[in-house]
Amino acid sequence: MAAKAKLLKVVLLGDGGVGKSSLMNRFVSNKFDAQSFHTIGVEFLNKDVEVDNELYKMQIWDTAGQERFKSLRTPFYRGADCCLLTFAVDDVQSYRNLGMWRKEFLYYADIKEGDSFPFVIIGNKVDVENRVVGSEEAQEWCHANGRMPYFETSAKDSTNVNDAFRAAVKRLKELEDVIDSNTKPSHGPTVDLKRKDKLQSSGCC
Amino acid sequence: MADDLPSDFDVVVLGTGLPESILAAALSRVGQKVLHIDRNEYYSGQWASFNLENITKWTKEAMGELGLEHPTIEEDVLLQPGETLSRLDLSVKGKTYFNIASEYHVSNEEEVLDKTDIAKECRSDDKMDKLNPDQVEENKDDNDSESNKDTLEASEEAQSEETKSNTETEAILEDKETKPMSEHKTDETFKKPSSSEDSVVKAEVTESKKPETWTASKLKKDWRRFNLDLAPRLLYCAGSMVELLISSDIAKYCEFRTVTRVLTFLNDKLEKVPCSRADVFSSKDVSMLEKRMLMKLLTFCADYTNHEHQYQDFADKPFKEFLKSQKLTNNICHYVQHSIAMATDTMTTMEGLARTKKFLHSLGRYGNTAFLWPLYGSGELPQSFCRMCAVFGGVYCLRTAVSAVICGADNKCKGVVLTNGQRINCRYVIMESSYADAEDMTYRAKRHVNRGIFITDRSVLPTEDQQLSLMFLPDPDNGVRPTAVLELPPSSMTCPQGLHAVHMTRPGTGDVHPREDLKIVKEKLFDPADDDKPNILWSMYFSQTYYEDLKRGESTPDNIIVLPGPGPEIDLNDVVTQTRQIFVDIMPGEEFLPRPPNPEDIIYVDENEATVGENKQSEFAGEESETNKTGDQSEGVKDTEEVTAIQSDESTPIKTDSTVDQSDESTPIKTDSTVDQSDESSTITADSAVDQSNDGENKQDISSEAGLPLYLVSVRDPPTLSVSVLTPPTPRPPPPLTLSAGLPLYLVSVRDPPTLSVSVLTPPTPRPPPPLTLSVSVLTLVVFGRLDFLCI
């Protein structure tokens, strides 16, 4: 077995119905289901990727539908290594909400400096005919908000999906030098509840 | 809120406090459709943790109105014949919280203008502006006259030590109450009251002898770094909450730190209580003789149930008297009674011993004390359970309440009307007490707990390392109202570097304001005049109502469940016991928060293509999330096992049965298993028709009979098991259960979509760690239709 892959927690964020789950399913299992709903009991999906000769295990977290009423909170965000902010190019509101989601993420993930956090913006559903958010417009917004990489994807026909996810890892590597203790909260090692080795077996004396 | 909610649920849960969230998760986990709502725009209700901004906002909300209003309900449209509507009171004012007062004890600006400091601050301000335009306003002074007054009051208090009368306190409160609440939105930075430099009253507390001079503006600037709990709670390391977090795998959402020391006042001096063996022997405060006494006593307490003769004469007498009878020194009695048993003077010996044992059993599991602290505050815990609920299909909606409950002619609750006017049908309503009407509650006593939160500039007993300290200070008066003090350092993720957050909790009495009630302890620990003691930079007091033995009202429909808010306890065992009981009552026979399938184990099967283990290959390099295993197998063994499992998944012969008779008790379940157990000649026993084939040769395609649910179950070396639903099952009644004795038996019950619960019925027999060769038992089953049980 090769060197152990580095585990990355990736969160997919954006309005309900922009195709987050579809993107995830396309990326992980290369499938698309037009009726796909949040999969009951599935916390996250894993996919191994190799970027610049390094192995990464991307652990992609499902919002579990909690974004619908904007009620995601800390357990989802904490400890995320990168964030894919998603909108649908045929839904202008989902595009306008990107800033809100970015702010929400930075707040609850407890990120101090948003500009050095690896975000990737995804404009999904480029296969649709009635697109309302222009490519350039989105591109500009990403540039103005910390030069975030922008990808236009279609989970339906698989366009760019792999590239977008891989870009998150690349972005992370790019920012690795910039990311310091200021960006992500570092609080040292904590207690692992599942630790089996008790310090003392009897408890007291 | 764009979309409407679905209108049919099994359970509507009101309030996202810890008990509600645990129940929501537990119910959702076994397949109940759960709608979980909260009137607030934040999670955790009475268990919430707030930053400095939001706690200020909460102060105002708790004393005022929330702004949620009853919708117009057209009864003839919403109600069925025979149904009646009973409105719930949406107001929160005074219901749970009262005596709320908060203030800064430092002025807004430093009196001695330190040029370099200011320059530095300006620079960082600039940076902030650029990065996050929303935060600009918080750095601006808005010359709010009200907050000037705050500061003035604060400074006055610092100057004229504790001469403040009760009426003055009330005055502050009144001022705050009448202050118009500024408009806030969820995701916007809140405007903070901050005063300008004209508050010239010099507070002595900011004298520059200290290494760091804190100002109100400095604190406000770090507003986000605070996580101040309304109901701070610890976890006993070996307590039921820790067990639940592990068994339900909810532990993966939270992080913990150990409480590093227990402190107590001995002869007016603050000392560390020796509670572990190491502590006892290294303690300088304990003489050799006392060391021996203490060890002897603790050894007895840890095993007291086997030495009844030693305490039977005292069983119903106070624990204090029992300790006295043991020929101990006063110090030892004090340690054991107040810091280890945390017992009041009137507590019986039985109770005292039980508490001591509980403490001792939690020692040494994760650290040197018996307790864990949830990082970022106790308010994280409810959210973690909510996440679990959502992962299993629970629907969440904040800033929504129930406007009215719909009751049928049979006095059963049929559903609720939300504040958005929507009718939700449900079989159960679970509500936290502050959502319930007075007549829907009966209780033994309505009490309150007085709480104080302080931000201080150093520890009460500083050391080189950051210490998370617990103190249990006896009641100076009659012994029944001790004060629990929790001092949290920055590493607890509840306050910025250089500060400490201190929580005080004391059962309340009469109408004594918490400011008065906590005064003695406060003065013992903090003193602005004493350079060696911490200074209070900010403080907050409030009283919170709770109910003892809370139950539903006598005429309340029995499918409405009312849950109490947090009481004065410092741990969470009570919450687990209580919620587990309610769960068992509602869902008899179901497992309480069983471990969810490991995401790593879920295998995707396309129902048409029959590509088992498609994604499994890429998961080789997986980290060891299999924590379920017994014994200490080496990583290498685990890996091999993992691989074995994967290989068998791929080459698994899969038999299908498309003729499953759903209505028949003796449902023929055809399974196909690859059992490779060289160490045990195990027989697979299963009632009914479980088709066994151990040779793993015949490969068949998966094809599902139309409409029948397809479940993929993979069982690895006990007790790991994962199941995924492959096709959406159609509703059907719960399957009959048949048990068979013998080898480890796993019960997999699959119910109405997409429910699933797995429980180990007989403990797996201990077996030697599997050798590195292929001698791991792997069983993979694909079952069509109803899956009743399987056993290995």
Which DSSP string corresponds to A128-177?
Answer: -S---S-HHHHHHHHHHTT---EEE--TTT-TTHHHHHHHHHHHHHHHTT
Answer yes or no: is pLDDT of B597 > 60: yes
Total Cβ atoms within 10 A of residue B534: 23
Give B308's contacts (C-beta < 8 A, 6+ positions apart): none
Amino acid in the structure at residue A92: V
β-bridge mates for residue B262, sequence order: B470
Sheet of A150-152: strand order equals A44-51, A54-61, A6-14, A82-88, A119-124, A150-152
Q: Which residues of A touch B615 (CB under 8 A)?
A: 28-29, 47
Judge: B395–A43 Cβ closer than 8 Å, yes or no.
no
Give the pLDDT of residue A182: 52
Judge: A200–B363 Cβ closer than 8 Å, yes or no.
yes
Judge: B302–A190 Cβ closer than 8 Å, yes or no.
no
Query: For the purposes of burial, counting CB atoms within 10 Å of the CB of B115, is it exposed (0-12), middle (13-18) or buried (19 or more)?
Result: exposed
Q: pLDDT per residue over B338-349, tens digit each? A: 999 999 999 999
Judge: A1–B254 Cβ closer than 8 Å, yes or no.
no
Q: Which helix (H) or strand (E) holds B615?
A: none
Closest CA to B305 of B354, B360, B244: B354
Give A129's contacts (C-beta < 8 A, 6+ positions apart): none
Q: Does A190 touch chain B (CB under 8 A)?
A: yes
For residues B651 and B676, is the Cβ–Cβ distance under 8 A? Answer: no
For residues B238 and B302, is the Cβ–Cβ distance under 8 A? Answer: no
- ω into residue B754 within 30 of 0, thus cis? yes
CATH for the B8-92+377-444+550-586 domain, from 1.25.40.10, 3.30.1360.120, 3.50.50.60, 3.40.50.1820: 3.50.50.60
Name the residue in chain A with its Cα closest to that of B32.
A40
Q: Does A177 touch chain B (CB under 8 A)?
A: no
- Rounded CA-CA distance B413/B407 in Å is 4
Give the pLDDT of residue B764: 37
- Compute the CA torsion angle B548, B554, B560, B565 (nearest 10 deg): -20
**Min Cα separation B730/chain A (Å):** 15
Q: Does A200 touch chain B (CB under 8 A)?
A: yes
Total Cβ atoms within 10 A of residue B119: 10
Give the pLDDT of residue A65: 76
Choose between B736 and A58: higher pLDDT.
Answer: A58
Q: Which residues of A touch B376 (CB under 8 A)?
A: 74, 78, 110
Mutate to test the interface with B, among A193, A198, A201, A202 (most CBs of B within 10 A): A193
Q: Which of B187, B302, B621 sits opposite A5 (nearest CB)?
A: B621
Provide the sign of the torsion angle of the four alpha carbons B577, B578, B583, B589, taken in this order: positive
Give the pLDDT of residue B600: 66
For residues A204 and A142, is the Cβ–Cβ distance under 8 A? Answer: no
Q: What does the buried/exposed string (b/e) look like for B79-95 if buried means 16 or more CB atoms within 10 Å of the residue's CB? A: beeeeeeeebebebeee
Q: Domain residues of chain B, as ranges?
A: 8-92+377-444+550-586, 274-365
Choose between A23 and B211: higher pLDDT.
Answer: A23
The whole-number average pLDDT for the span B254-271 is: 91
DSSP A199: S
Give the pLDDT of residue B618: 36
**Min Cα separation B145/chain A (Å):** 30
Judge: A191–B298 Cβ closer than 8 Å, yes or no.
no
- ω into residue B719 within 30 of 0, thus cis? yes
- Rounded CA-CA distance B16/A19 in Å is 28
List the structure tokens of B60.
């105002």
Residues within 8 A of A (CB atoms), B 214-233 only:
224
3-state SS of B401-440 is CEEEEEECCCCCEEEEEECCCCEEECCEEEEEHHHCCHHH
Total Cβ atoms within 10 A of residue B435: 25
DSSP B8: B
The vertex-B481 CA angle with B478 and B487, nearest 5°, equals: 130
- Rounded CA-CA distance A140/A203 in Å is 61
Contacts 24+ apart (CB under 8 A), B761-765: B764/B630, B764/B718, B764/B719
- Rounded CA-CA distance B392/A109 in Å is 23
The whole-number average pLDDT for the span B371-376 is: 94
Judge: B493–A187 Cβ closer than 8 Å, yes or no.
yes
**Helix/strand/coil for A184:** coil
Q: Which of B246, B368, B600 sits opposite A46 (nearest CB)?
A: B600
Judge: A200–B491 Cβ closer than 8 Å, yes or no.
no
- Rounded CA-CA distance B44/B381 in Å is 8
Give the pLDDT of residue A199: 42
Judge: A194–B187 Cβ closer than 8 Å, yes or no.
no
- Rounded CA-CA distance B246/A196 in Å is 11
Q: Does B604 touch chain A (CB under 8 A)?
A: yes
Q: Which of A16, A75, A113 sits opposite B384 (nearest CB)?
A: A75
β-bridge mates for residue B705, sequence order: none
Judge: B615–A29 Cβ closer than 8 Å, yes or no.
yes
Q: Which of B256, B277, B627 sits opposite A191 (nearest CB)?
A: B256
For residues B261 and B369, is the Cβ–Cβ distance under 8 A? Answer: yes
The whole-number average pLDDT for the span B214-243 is: 93
Query: For the purposes of burial, counting CB atoms within 10 Å of the CB of B465, is it exposed (0-12), middle (13-18) or buried (19 or more)?
Result: exposed
Judge: B376–A205 Cβ closer than 8 Å, yes or no.
no
Q: B137 falls in which pLDDT band (50, 70, 90)? A: very low
Give the pLDDT of residue B516: 95
- Compute the CA torsion angle B178, B183, B186, B187 (nearest 10 deg): -130
Name the residue in chain A with its Cα closest to that of B259.
A191
Q: Which helix (H) or strand (E) holds B110?
A: none
List the structure tokens of A137.
């417009």
Q: Which residue has the tokens 């094809």?
A: B703
Q: Which helix (H) or strand (E) holds B707?
A: none
Provide the sign of the torsion angle of the four alpha carbons B380, B381, B387, B389, taken in this order: negative
Q: Does A113 touch chain B (CB under 8 A)?
A: yes
Name the residue in chain A with its Cα closest to that of B722.
A41
Answer yes or no: is pLDDT of B551 > 70: yes
**% chain A with pLDDT above 70:** 83
Q: Which residues of A touch B245 (CB under 8 A)?
A: 193
Q: Phi, psi (5° rounding) for residue B269?
A: -115, 135
Q: Which of A74, A196, A198 sits opposite B383 (nearest CB)?
A: A74
- Rounded CA-CA distance B518/B666 in Å is 66
Provide the sign of the torsion angle of the four alpha carbons B521, B525, B528, B534, taken in this order: negative
Give A52's contacts (C-beta < 8 A, 6+ positions apart): A170, A173
**Min Cα separation B301/chain A (Å):** 10
Q: What domains are there in chain A, each with its CATH number?
A: 6-183 (3.40.50.300)
Count how many residues are written for chain B. 792
β-bridge mates for residue A14, sequence order: A86
Give the pLDDT of residue B94: 82
Judge: B623–A103 Cβ closer than 8 Å, yes or no.
no
Mutual orientation of helices A161-175 and A20-29 as an angle, nearest 10°? 90
The whole-number average pLDDT for the span B556-564 is: 95
Give the pLDDT of residue A109: 84
For residues B388 and B25, is the Cβ–Cβ distance under 8 A? Answer: yes
Q: Which residue has the tokens 């959406």?
A: B728
Closest CA to A153 of A85, A102, A201: A85
Which of B250-259, B299-308, B614-623 is predicted with the least confidence, judged by mean pLDDT? Answer: B614-623
Q: pLDDT per residue over B100-127, tens digit each? A: 999 999 988 765 444 444 444 444 444 3
CATH of domain B274-365: 1.10.405.10
Give B427's contacts (C-beta < 8 A, 6+ positions apart): B10, B11, B559
The vertex-A107 CA angle with A103 and A112, nearest 5°, equals: 100
Q: Which residue has the tokens 């996919």?
A: A47
Classify strands A6-14 and A54-61 as parallel, antiparallel or unpaired: parallel
DSSP B711: E
Give A186's contacts (C-beta < 8 A, 6+ positions apart): none
Q: Does A203 touch chain B (CB under 8 A)?
A: yes
**Helix/strand/coil for A85:** strand
Chunk chain A into consecutive blocks of 10 residues (it has 205) and report each block's average pLDDT, rounded to whole numbers. Answer: 77 89 88 68 86 91 77 79 94 94 87 85 94 95 93 94 94 76 63 61 38
C-alpha distances in Å from residue B336, one per residue of B236, B264, B317, B354? 17, 11, 16, 12
- Rounded CA-CA distance B390/B2 in Å is 19
Judge: A2–B391 Cβ closer than 8 Å, yes or no.
no
**% chain B with pLDDT above 70:** 62
**Min Cα separation B133/chain A (Å):** 11
Mean pLDDT of chain B: 71
Choose between B647 and B545: higher pLDDT.
Answer: B545
Give the pLDDT of residue B496: 93
Q: pLDDT per residue over B377-425, tens digit each? A: 999 999 999 999 998 989 999 899 999 999 999 999 999 999 999 999 9
Q: Which of A69, A74, A204 sits opposite B397 (nearest CB)?
A: A69
β-bridge mates for residue A58, sequence order: A8, A47
C-alpha distances in Å from residue B191, one per residue of B68, B126, B140, B188, B356? 22, 18, 9, 9, 47
Give the pLDDT of residue B109: 74
Q: B63 falls in which pLDDT band (50, 70, 90)? A: confident
Q: pLDDT per residue over B441-490, tens digit each? A: 999 999 999 999 999 999 999 999 999 999 999 988 777 899 999 999 99
Q: Which of B295, B364, B604 sits opposite A200 (nearest CB)?
A: B364
Q: Which of B224, B277, B599 sits opposite A44 (nearest CB)?
A: B599
Residues within 8 A of A (CB atoms), B 484-513 only:
491, 493
**Min Cα separation A41/chain B (Å):** 5
